[in-house]
Amino acid sequence: MLDALFRPRSIAVVGASTDPTKLGSLPIKFMLGADFKGEIYPVNPRASTIQGLPVFGSVKAIGKKVDLAIIAVPKELSRAAVADCAEAGVRAAVMFTSGFAEVDAPGASAQREITALARSAGMRVLGPNCLGVVNFAEGMVASFHPAFALTEKRAGRIGLASQSGAFGGLSYNLARERGLSFSYCVTTGNEADIDIAECVSFLANDASTEVILLYLEGCRNGPALIEALKTARRKGKFVIAIKVGRTASGAAAVASHTATLAGSDAVFDALFRQYGVYRAQTIEEFLDVGLACAVGKPPRNASLGLVTVSGGVGVLMADAATNLGLEVTPLPEATQARVREILPYAGPRNPIDVTGQVVADPKLFERGLEIALAEGGFGGLVTFTGALPRNPEHAPMLKGVFASLRERHPDVSLISAGLSTPQFRDELGALAIPSFEDPSRAVRAAAALRFFAERSGETGRAEQRAHPPLPEGPMGEVEALRALGAAGIPVVESHLAPDAKSAVDAARKIGFPVVMKIASPDILHKSDIGGVLLGLASEAEVLKGFEELLARARRAHPRARIQGCLVAPRIEGGTEIVLGTNLDPVFGPVVMVGLGGIFVEILHDISLRLAPIGIEEAHAMLRELKGFALLEGARGRLPADIEAMARALVDLSSFAHAHAHEIVSCDINPFLVLSKGAVAVDAVIVRNS
Amino acid sequence: MLDALFRPRSIAVVGASTDPTKLGSLPIKFMLGADFKGEIYPVNPRASTIQGLPVFGSVKAIGKKVDLAIIAVPKELSRAAVADCAEAGVRAAVMFTSGFAEVDAPGASAQREITALARSAGMRVLGPNCLGVVNFAEGMVASFHPAFALTEKRAGRIGLASQSGAFGGLSYNLARERGLSFSYCVTTGNEADIDIAECVSFLANDASTEVILLYLEGCRNGPALIEALKTARRKGKFVIAIKVGRTASGAAAVASHTATLAGSDAVFDALFRQYGVYRAQTIEEFLDVGLACAVGKPPRNASLGLVTVSGGVGVLMADAATNLGLEVTPLPEATQARVREILPYAGPRNPIDVTGQVVADPKLFERGLEIALAEGGFGGLVTFTGALPRNPEHAPMLKGVFASLRERHPDVSLISAGLSTPQFRDELGALAIPSFEDPSRAVRAAAALRFFAERSGETGRAEQRAHPPLPEGPMGEVEALRALGAAGIPVVESHLAPDAKSAVDAARKIGFPVVMKIASPDILHKSDIGGVLLGLASEAEVLKGFEELLARARRAHPRARIQGCLVAPRIEGGTEIVLGTNLDPVFGPVVMVGLGGIFVEILHDISLRLAPIGIEEAHAMLRELKGFALLEGARGRLPADIEAMARALVDLSSFAHAHAHEIVSCDINPFLVLSKGAVAVDAVIVRNS
């Protein structure tokens, strides 16, 4: 779909200048330098040749098919330029020009006008206010950023999509310094037409791209981004994202409780977890993980072997690995004894500290590595070789060790840490061994590779069931519980008693003691008005309680429609959790779970996913909770029925998904989880008004 | 004290070789290259000159005062070498030789022998199995590590003390690449004599050292390390530590509950918090913070201004700053309007996004920075200038901007982020502006500088009171509460009733309902045997309860000495916290506080300090707790009496400190904090047996 943008064969440069340093001239210079094989048509009414190419007075005047137009004219001329392109049948345009929606309301209006013009002609637009797009394999540079003055034509497997131009340029610059090669870079700027989701989709479907680096500030089209990420995962591609604005979401506090908890950055975080996207917090981590994915091999399991020339750095790496969820499993005792035979001074456990002795006899290093690989059962190895790779004598020796290791173990995950040189780094890269100078970063890269290995394959399928329509009118507790019950969620067996006598009948049926609550679709916060009575132990108490509840409700809400009282059993024991859904403006319904009390309120210990979810995802949500140990039976409790909780989450997500257009939010609080089974005790559903 | 080691004027090199690549020859080569002005005496019975210097057959044969001996002989010859040095009156020795305590028991024994020999002659020993020591100002290189082949003699203000040789060499290598300069590097190896604490003490007292980089795996002499860190703080020096083995402490689980919580890495962490040591987690962070301290200025407050050429990187930095506890305060509205006048496309809030326009007009950048500094009220600024410093046209312009800024604001904290060159970095360094390529790391450096600024000045003084002696014999709850009460800690008003009648009298005096517990110095875990009865509401219940408790105690512990029962009031409300002390083998008594229930047991949310502490430190401990909001009155509670809690912590720490030789651990659980006051409800004290 975006072929004209990413793989154009003919490019018009509107606003090309005879001054080679101007925005409109740089792409031409870059493409000529990068040996672009397609056609380049400079467009400028007041020039005849630019950089040796014949110039056209307008795009229409070119008279040939034009795939892509680069629009580099001042803002005042941009509308005319777009019109010219549209009339000439150009398929896509990249607009560098700024001064539109990013500046003020008139700018936004001008941007809408231009977009409408392009749309009516079927022309796609990237930008405005963007740094453009680069196709490295073809030397196609529709960008003026100096980073893309390609001095060497080397295409790689990393695609970069960034909403920020400067961030894109910076990342590319830093990545090149580290020897990384790219398939495409695209920056989307104001996203008047083409948005980040479409670019991710293009990269996910592009055969040459294996790693997608993604910089996000937000997203206009949630479902499209979800689809693109699903595609990437299905095709086994690695997606690494930086999403900025993590803490801004905290600042933009929202009134409603659930909304605060589910602030939009938290929803992006849920999206990333759900679709196996690695979320990086810094540019350094972004590129480190990109490098690991582009170069390295996936670890077979979470156990990491560490082979080091420094004991101290070994401990440092072991700490880092443990903190990142990897296991630093010791070598078997017998293997340790063998290591000690070969390397008498070595620390043979894991980290395997081969000490500086390896300088004298590199074969020892090789044998140490070989034993670790053969007998350690490790999913992968990280080696630390200190300053040896910098030493002209030792570097070839080390390279030889790694090369022969790779020959014997073609699929094992190896990562190298230590002071290095670009040459050593590239030689190891050719052996599918990513290398890092900082040992902690090398370990983080190993953990990232494991992150992806654990998330390979399809996303767990969510159930897409039919749900009965919601009842008309406002929903009180009665209707909410009934609707949730119909969705498969276990709800408390409660009876709506229109009068005191039926309340007594219901209580007798349920068995004493009972709980009684005022029933009214107009009273959502019952406890606030004393509308809940717990532990009514006799008929007399039920009779008296019924009148009391009605009186309280009438005093507090004289105009509320009162349905009577709800009578329900008092449920003993269990763990209170909170289930909920919320409607995210970008991604639609989001499902939430947290432990009741301080876990949600003080520690904000909740887990979110986009609805609908499958049962595996529901289990993953529960395991994410800091308080999960409590559900598993810590502090002498009975283990809670985790399957029942997960099942309820799946059903709730399906319910929220089915009613996405009608339900704003849903709160089940408390959802009581017993050692066998679970039950929704109270629920509030807020409908679209 | 260690002058002979760090500032020797005469050095014997025992085991100097005619082969210039051997361990014993490298220090000579390095010192001749670094123009060491003192005397160097190669010692070798089978050579006459080495590197042009006359050789001696033994140290004794030198016949002159020798401050320092470098011992680089094989292990077999090491004892004789030490004896030779000792007899010659050498003041200190550096032993490179390995194969001692780090290898096996015979090695440890040989090490002890050598140490005793040196001690008896008053000779200090660094090592064995160490990489030695370097004094950069004097070109004194008592090390064979290739990193110390000093190509340029440039002494700086950073002192590095490392227990690991390889780590020390690596850190020095990486630091040099980043333009950092050092006063001293010392690695302590096996610490047969001189330990890391003594080295820190030397650096803390050394006038040329302002920043101390410290690598620790453990510590032999806790009190000496505390003293050294106190000195460093008093003298306004920055101490940055890497302490490895964070997660190993988790693995080495200890049986006792408190001991598990206060595992020794947690105690190091407490030490660092208490004495204002910045704990780095990676080598990168270690050196980044070292760089910031060596070059930069302290921020005046926690509000950080961000000036950026990229909006995206600006948000990234704002996220990082907020996560690290800095405030990204917006510019005042009027100032924002002025920024917009000067830079029409700028994002004027904070981050202040000056956009790529500054390339065209650097004066705009300068004015933007100037306004931010004058009107933002920021404690410091971090700027991000993208790739501009790499551009030969833009770098001098930027440098000019920073230079004139520094001239007008000599004391403001400025940090630069962006792609850079060594030259640009050094020029900014000369202006006291640390620079980093990664913007997140620049922000972390700003946060580290703020960390130190907040901890400047003396540590809050702890009370050193006299405490009455503990009673003889084992301590039950009665004795424990009495002892704690005598130490000033509020304890529950409980009465020891030897018989049922006195129990009733006590209950009547206290007022019903009461709590009653079995009283026996031999029964520490009363609840386990049903030895606690809550809410006894009448005389009859007290009478019956007394007999019941005695019966249960006799059944469970037939041989326990029973004192009767404790009768105490039932205290309503309040928040349960846990106070405790524990005896760390290195640092002595440690005081602990945590919120009761899940906070301690599931979340391990505790705070530790070395006893004794002052009231400010006690408040800091409480504020560290994740559940602190609960104490402040979250979830509709009354705020707890935080001063009473802090006071109790101070008293408990003083008590534990005074009885360090008698008390192994002390647990006050629960310590009930009310909205006014607090009270210890139960306590267990374990004495040294």
Task: Determine the distance in angstroms separating the CA of B304 from the nearest CA of chain A, rounded to an integer.
Answer: 15
In a domain, B142, yes or no: no
Per-residue pLDDT, A195: 94
Specify which residues A436 forms β-bridges with. Answer: A417
**Is A21 exposed, middle or buried (CB count within 10 Å of its CB: 0-12, 13-18, 19+)?**
exposed
The predicted-structure confidence for B513-526, as pLDDT tens digits, reads as follows 999 999 998 887 78
pLDDT exceeds 90 at position A458: no
In a domain, B465, yes or no: no
In the listed set A132, A166, A184, which residue is the last one of a domain according to the structure?
A132
Query: In residues, how long is chain A?
Result: 689
pLDDT exceeds 70 at position A107: yes
Number of domains in chain B: 5
Task: Determine the distance in angstroms separating the CA of B599 from the nearest CA of chain A, rounded to an integer.
Answer: 10
- Inform me whether the C-beta atom of residue A359 falls under 8 Å from chain B C-beta atoms: no
pLDDT exceeds 60 at position B224: yes
Residues above pLDDT 70, as percent of chain B: 96
pLDDT exceeds 50 at position A78: yes
Task: Determine the distance in angstroms separating the CA of A505 from the nearest CA of chain B, rounded to an integer.
Answer: 36
- Cβ–Cβ below 8 Å for B166 and A315: no
**pLDDT-derived band of residue B90, with 50, 70 and 90 as boundaries?**
very high
- Cβ–Cβ below 8 Å for A598 and B630: yes
Which of B145, B176, B196, B282 best probes binding to A when mutated, by most A CB atoms within 10 angstroms? B282
> In this complex, how many residue pairs, one in chain A and one in chain B, have their CB atoms less than 8 Å apart?
179
Q: Which of residues 25-54 of B touch A (CB under 8 A)?
A: none
- Cβ–Cβ below 8 Å for B315 and A441: no
Chain B partners within 8 Å of A578 (Cβ): none
Please give the full DSSP string across A153-164, using - where no structure is assigned: --EEEEEEEES-
Gyration radius from chain A CA atoms: 31
Q: Are residues A424 and A399 in the same domain?
A: yes
Q: Are residues B236 and B348 in the same domain?
A: no
The average confidence (pLDDT) of chain B is 91
In a domain, A481, yes or no: no
- Cβ–Cβ below 8 Å for A103 and B345: yes
Partner residue opposite A312 with nearest CB, options B217, B311, B323: B217
In a domain, A193, yes or no: yes
The predicted-structure confidence for B286-298, as pLDDT tens digits, reads as follows 999 999 999 999 9
Which residue reads 């398929």 in tokens? A91
In which element (H, E) is residue B197 found? helix B196-205
Q: Are residues B446 and B308 in the same domain?
A: yes
CATH number at residue B533: 3.30.1490.20
The predicted-structure confidence for A319-360, as pLDDT tens digits, reads as follows 899 999 999 888 999 998 998 888 877 788 888 888 877 777
Per-residue pLDDT, A635: 66
Q: Are residues A405 and A532 in the same domain?
A: no
In the listed set B264, B295, B326, which residue is the last one of a domain according to the structure?
B295
CA dist list (Å): A274 to A108, A226, B144, B170:
34, 10, 53, 40
Partner residue opposite B310 with nearest CB, options A167, A281, A629: A167
Q: Are residues A280 and A379 in the same domain?
A: no
- The answer to whether residues A309 and B166 touch, using CB atoms and an 8 Å cutoff, is yes
Which DSSP letter does residue A351 get? S
Per-residue pLDDT, A255: 26
Which residue reads 């110095």 in tokens? B521
The predicted-structure confidence for B304-343, as pLDDT tens digits, reads as follows 999 999 888 888 899 899 999 999 888 999 998 998 888 8
Contacts of B268 (CB under 8 A, 6+ apart): B216, B219, B243
Partner residue opposite B246 with nearest CB, options A165, A244, A319: A319
Q: Which domain holds residue A276?
A: 154-295
Task: Determine the distance in angstroms separating the CA of B18 from the nearest CA of chain A, rounded to an integer.
Answer: 19
pLDDT exceeds 90 at position A215: yes
Whole-angstrom Cα distance, residue B43 to residue B46?
9
Which DSSP letter does residue A94 get? E
- The answer to whether residues A144 and A29 touch, using CB atoms and an 8 Å cutoff, is no
- Cβ–Cβ below 8 Å for B166 and A313: yes
In a domain, A527, yes or no: yes
Sheet strand arrangement including B495-497: B495-497, B564-569, B514-519, B532-536
Which of B160, B170, B264, B599 best probes binding to A when mutated, by most A CB atoms within 10 angstroms? B170
In a domain, B673, yes or no: yes
Which DSSP letter does residue B130 get? -
pLDDT exceeds 60 at position A507: yes
Which residue reads 């130190």 in tokens? B452
**pLDDT-derived band of residue A460, with 50, 70 and 90 as boundaries?**
low
- Cβ–Cβ below 8 Å for A630 and B598: yes
- Inform me whether the C-beta atom of residue A419 falls under 8 Å from chain B C-beta atoms: yes
Q: Are residues A625 and A665 in the same domain?
A: yes
Per-residue pLDDT, A262: 34
**Residue of chain B nearest A242, judged by CA positions:** B316
Q: Which two tokens stand for residue A632?
A: 């598993």
CATH number at residue A247: 3.40.50.261
Provide mean pLDDT across the span B201-205.
98
**pLDDT-derived band of residue A252, with 50, 70 and 90 as boundaries?**
very low
Per-residue pLDDT, B255: 26
pTM of the model: 0.92
- Inform me whether the C-beta atom of residue A316 falls under 8 Å from chain B C-beta atoms: yes
Q: Are residues B281 and B311 in the same domain?
A: no
Chain B partners within 8 Å of A173 (Cβ): 387, 419
CATH number at residue B106: 3.40.50.720
Provide mean pLDDT across the span A655-663.
94
Task: Determine the distance in angstroms separating the CA of B660 from the nearest CA of chain A, rounded to an integer.
Answer: 31
Per-residue pLDDT, B151: 67
Per-residue pLDDT, A258: 28
Q: Are residues A275 and A303 in the same domain?
A: no
Provide mean pLDDT across the span A40-44.
97
In which element (H, E) is residue B243 found? strand B238-243
Three-class HEC string of A631-675: HCCHHHCCCCCHHHHHHHHHHHHHHHHHCCCCEEEEEEEEEEECC
Chain B partners within 8 Å of A350 (Cβ): none
Q: Which of residues 85-124 of B touch A (CB under 8 A)?
A: 98-99, 102-103
In a domain, B488, yes or no: no
Which of A244, A353, A631 best probes binding to B when mutated, by most B CB atoms within 10 angstroms? A244
Per-residue pLDDT, A459: 66
Q: Which two tokens stand for residue A649?
A: 């989450």
Q: Greater confidence, B613 or B459?
A: B613
pLDDT exceeds 60 at position A251: no
Whole-angstrom Cα distance, residue A584 to residue A577?
22
Chain B partners within 8 Å of A281 (Cβ): 319-320, 440
In a domain, A101, yes or no: yes
- Inform me whether the C-beta atom of residue B440 falls under 8 Å from chain A C-beta atoms: yes
Task: Determine the distance in angstroms separating the CA of A507 from the nearest CA of chain B, rounded to an integer.
Answer: 31
The predicted-structure confidence for B121-164, as pLDDT tens digits, reads as follows 999 999 999 999 999 999 999 999 988 987 666 799 999 999 98
Q: Which of B199, B244, B246, B206 is nearest to B224 (CA)?
A: B199
CATH number at residue A589: 3.30.470.20
**pLDDT-derived band of residue B460, with 50, 70 and 90 as boundaries?**
low
Chain A partners within 8 Å of B250 (Cβ): 322
Q: Are residues B558 and B580 in the same domain?
A: no
Whole-angstrom Cα distance, residue B369 to residue B364?
9
**pLDDT-derived band of residue A51, with 50, 70 and 90 as boundaries?**
very high
pLDDT exceeds 70 at position B266: yes
Buried residues in A169-200 as b, exposed as e (16+ CB within 10 A): bbbbbbbbebbbbbbbbbbbbbbbbbbbbbbb
**Residue of chain A nearest B265, judged by CA positions:** A319
The predicted-structure confidence for A261-302, as pLDDT tens digits, reads as follows 334 788 999 999 999 999 999 999 999 999 999 999 999 999
Chain A partners within 8 Å of B391 (Cβ): 146
**Residue of chain A nearest B344, judged by CA positions:** A103
Q: Is B75 helix (H, G, I), strand (E, B) or coil?
A: helix
Chain A partners within 8 Å of B146 (Cβ): 387, 391
**pLDDT-derived band of residue B620, with 50, 70 and 90 as boundaries?**
very high
The predicted-structure confidence for B268-283, as pLDDT tens digits, reads as follows 999 999 999 999 999 9
pLDDT exceeds 60 at position A679: yes
Quote ipTM for the complex: 0.90
Q: Which of residues 293-312 of A touch B (CB under 8 A)?
A: 309-312
The predicted-structure confidence for B384-402, as pLDDT tens digits, reads as follows 999 899 989 889 999 999 9
Q: Which of residues 615-654 of B touch A (CB under 8 A)?
A: 626-627, 629-630, 634-635
Q: Are residues A312 and A444 in the same domain?
A: yes
- Inform me whether the C-beta atom of residue B178 falls under 8 Å from chain A C-beta atoms: no
Three-class HEC string of A472-495: CCCCCHHHHHHHHHHCCCCECCCE
**pLDDT-derived band of residue A475, with 50, 70 and 90 as boundaries?**
confident
Query: In residues, how long is chain B?
Result: 689
In the listed set B569, B593, B616, which residue is the last one of a domain according to the structure?
B569
- Inform me whether the C-beta atom of residue A248 falls under 8 Å from chain B C-beta atoms: yes
Q: Are residues A553 and A608 in the same domain?
A: no
A145-154, A529-538, B86-95, B112-121: segment of lowest average pLDDT:
A145-154
Which stretches within A192-263 are classed as H helix? 196-205, 222-234, 248-251, 257-261
The gap from C-alpha B663 to its chain's centroid, in whole angstroms, comes to 25
**pLDDT-derived band of residue A260, with 50, 70 and 90 as boundaries?**
very low
pLDDT exceeds 80 at position A234: yes
Per-residue pLDDT, B231: 95
Q: Are residues B283 and B303 in the same domain?
A: no
Which of A170, A625, A637 best probes binding to B when mutated, by most B CB atoms within 10 angstroms? A170
